[in-house]
Amino acid sequence: MNGSYNFDPMTGKPIAGAAGTPPVQVPSKPKREYSKKEIVLAWGSALIGYLFCRTFWVWQKPEIGLLFTVCLFAFGFVFFGKRKRKARCFFYPVSALILSSALFFSSSPSLLFFTFIYICSAFLLFCQTGSEGALERRAGQLYVFETVKAFFVAPFKSIGAAVGAAFTNKGAKKGGKTLLIILSGLGIALIPTLIVFALLSFDGNFTDSLEAIRKAIFDKILTHVASILFGVPIGMFIYSSLYESAHPRPDSFNEEACIRIENGMKFAPPLVGAVAIAPLLFLYVVFIIAQRGYFAAVFTSTLPDAYTFADFARNGFFRLCAVAAINALALIALRVFSKKTNSGKISPVVKVYTVVLSLVTVVISGTAISQMIMYVSNYGLTRLRLYTLWFMALLILIFIVAILKQFIEKLPFAATAVTVFVLCFAALAVPDADAIIARHNYNCQLADTEYSLDVEYLGQLSPSSVPVLCEVYGNEDLPDSIRDAALRELGGYAARDVRPFNLPELKAEKAYAALDRETQLQAAVAYDGLFPHVFISLEEQSVKDGDYRFCKVSVCQYDKNEEKVITDNPEYKPFGISSRAAVLDKIGKYLDMCEYLGKESILPFGTEDLSDEGRFYVHFDGSGSSSSVCLYDRENAKLAILDFEDYGYHYY
């Protein structure tokens, strides 16, 4: 023995490179191979990521949200092709497509945003639950583990798959190198370009031209460039979820490991949990006895002396949240940490406590709903109040499912709870919630003359409230203050110039178009912050023989709320004219262009401070042969329509 070893004396394994021992061969990772379809779809994933970025603020462009939903799940089905998928996974695309109809039928921003979040979540669960690597055949005791794996494990296991597939052949690799060379060249050219820009920036015409190019082109392009830059990694994430689902690889996050973790957490005898929760039940009994007068007031719909309706409703809601959170945590702790019986079933103690705590939550939820209904009956419905009622009803249904589970052991709690949530969310999101709110409040006004309709709040809702606002203004039995407020909110709707896409916007446009022209002008005047408030800017003007001769006229927009004039409208450039007749002729051509672009063909045009008599609005009848000037007399609060022929109006 010379003291040298060719093996590890502790483990007995050979030492790499030791004398007389061949080097240990470390097995290399098998190289991934991609089909032609997967290579093509790897490039398509960038488009899906781009659409995601364009869709994220989904309430601004719901039509893009619908397109994204269809493209996302179509992308998934094309990727999987004829691969066999587990039946439970199809629940998610079906529910997502049903919920996506809210993007057409509803217009509440918060509901549309949460609809978008569910669509994205459903896609990840669709990938995970349909895979051969899914933890369960149907949603059951490992549903939480399954969700964690779908969101935080599976998509990152193959995060580079999209890049590997996109550049898997020599031609793609050569293209990638070419792209790298181009980017390097652009980087080298950056410094001299900045130097030349600094030298030329002293020239006013040059900077004006660059500014015009920036506003006309780059402001629009940069948003798309940003969407592409952020869309590429998002597309890689989406592609990774699909690839890992189609080609699952063994890992430590499997069914056996999750079951072992779950069983390892069940260390406490059920009696320990029963003793720990008994004081909580005792406190509930004492509380209900002490608050018997409070609960009597709820069931008889009477307001206790120490409360206002708002305080009464808030007190009930926050009490429910506290009770539901405590009971849910207690039930989860019982379910997770309590040992099962020798036969592998849930302990009867756990079942009894689950039923009792769930019933307590259901009762308190019922009282909280009654308190909120009392509040709504007196002060009307708002988004927050509607969402609160929905949340409390959802809590009742979930805890009822928990009770049923104790009597029907085969009932899959996770799958049933998810189904209940999706159905409840669809019942809230797909119908037009804002229209329901507006209609309910208007009906309250009609039923109770002492009820004060908050018209300004209706104006803050989406265009869904416009048909109701039209009815409010047309109802001469209502107080003038309410009708005037409705007229002002209608003017605000017209000022927003919403391009109709979804059903609420189409209904709003139809209701507003049904108003006569004078009412529309009155609404514009009542709002007095019309945007776009379009007027003619007379620049470089000169007067000769009492006739105005202008060198340039610009079409501007005035945002009175922001108190600034916008003159950089690229669609309508300044034009040169030489007489007052040409002014009106150009206005007519401008109106024709509005009509061609799908804008309102008789938009009001205002000119600021032409006289001391008020504000003028000019519009044409569409034929170009006649027009009207509408003058608003502020002192008498009247709108006078002055007709004239052949552009003969002397104020010009």
In this structure, are 64 and 135 located in the same domain? yes
Q: How confident is the model at residue 202 (pLDDT cuts 50, 70, 90)?
A: low
Q: How confident is the model at residue 214 (pLDDT cuts 50, 70, 90)?
A: low
From 431, 450, 469, the end of a domain falls on 431
In this structure, are 486 and 550 located in the same domain? no
* Range scoring the smallest mean pLDDT among 143-147, 522-526, 614-618: 614-618
In this structure, are 73 and 37 located in the same domain? yes
> Tokens at residue 368, please?
């909280």
19 in a structural domain: no
Helix ranges restricted to H, 303-382: 309-337, 348-379
pTM higher than 0.95? no
From 474, 504, 526, the end of a domain falls on 526
- Per residue in 597-640, pLDDT (tens digit) is 444 433 333 333 333 333 444 443 444 433 444 444 445 544 44
CB 441 within 8 A of CB 380: yes
13 in a structural domain: no
Q: How confident is the model at residue 574 (pLDDT cuts 50, 70, 90)?
A: very low
Query: For the chain, how many structural domains are there in total?
Result: 4
Residue 25 has a pLDDT of: 53
Sign of the Cα pseudo-torsion (459, 462, 464, 466, in order): positive
Average confidence (pLDDT) over 363-372: 88
From 210, 234, 263, the end of a domain falls on 263
9 in a structural domain: no
Q: Which domain holds residue 439?
A: 434-526
Q: How confident is the model at residue 201 (pLDDT cuts 50, 70, 90)?
A: low
In this structure, are 315 and 413 located in the same domain? yes
In this structure, are 291 and 232 located in the same domain? no
Residue 566 has a pLDDT of: 46
Residue 451 has a pLDDT of: 79
In this structure, are 244 and 279 located in the same domain? no
Higher pLDDT, 143 or 620: 143
- Per residue in 85-127, pLDDT (tens digit) is 888 899 999 999 999 999 999 888 899 999 999 999 999 999 9
Higher pLDDT, 174 or 222: 222
* pLDDT at 222 > cutoff 90: no
- 503 Cβ partners below 8 Å, 6+ apart? 104, 105, 432
61 in a structural domain: yes
25 in a structural domain: no
In this structure, are 279 and 238 located in the same domain? no
Residue 385 has a pLDDT of: 92
Average confidence (pLDDT) over 298-323: 80
* pLDDT at 389 > cutoff 90: yes
Residue 631 has a pLDDT of: 43
Higher pLDDT, 473 or 21: 473
In this structure, are 471 and 367 located in the same domain? no
In this structure, are 116 and 253 located in the same domain? yes
- The whole-angstrom separation of Cα 174 and Cα 546 is 73
- Per residue in 415-474, pLDDT (tens digit) is 899 999 999 999 999 999 999 999 999 998 888 767 788 998 998 888 899 999 999 999
Question: Mean pLDDT across the chain, nearest whole number?
Answer: 74
**Per-position DSSP letters for 146-162, written without gaps between them:** HHHIIIIIHHHHTTTHH
Average confidence (pLDDT) over 237-258: 87
- The whole-angstrom separation of Cα 126 and Cα 26 is 36
14 in a structural domain: no
In this structure, are 382 and 456 located in the same domain? no
Residue 588 has a pLDDT of: 55
In this structure, are 87 and 226 located in the same domain? yes
Average confidence (pLDDT) over 9-23: 50
10 in a structural domain: no
In this structure, are 324 and 311 located in the same domain? yes
Instruction: Please give the single-letter amino acid code of residue 219.
Output: D
- Per residue in 52-88, pLDDT (tens digit) is 988 888 888 888 889 999 999 999 999 998 888 888 8
286 in a structural domain: yes
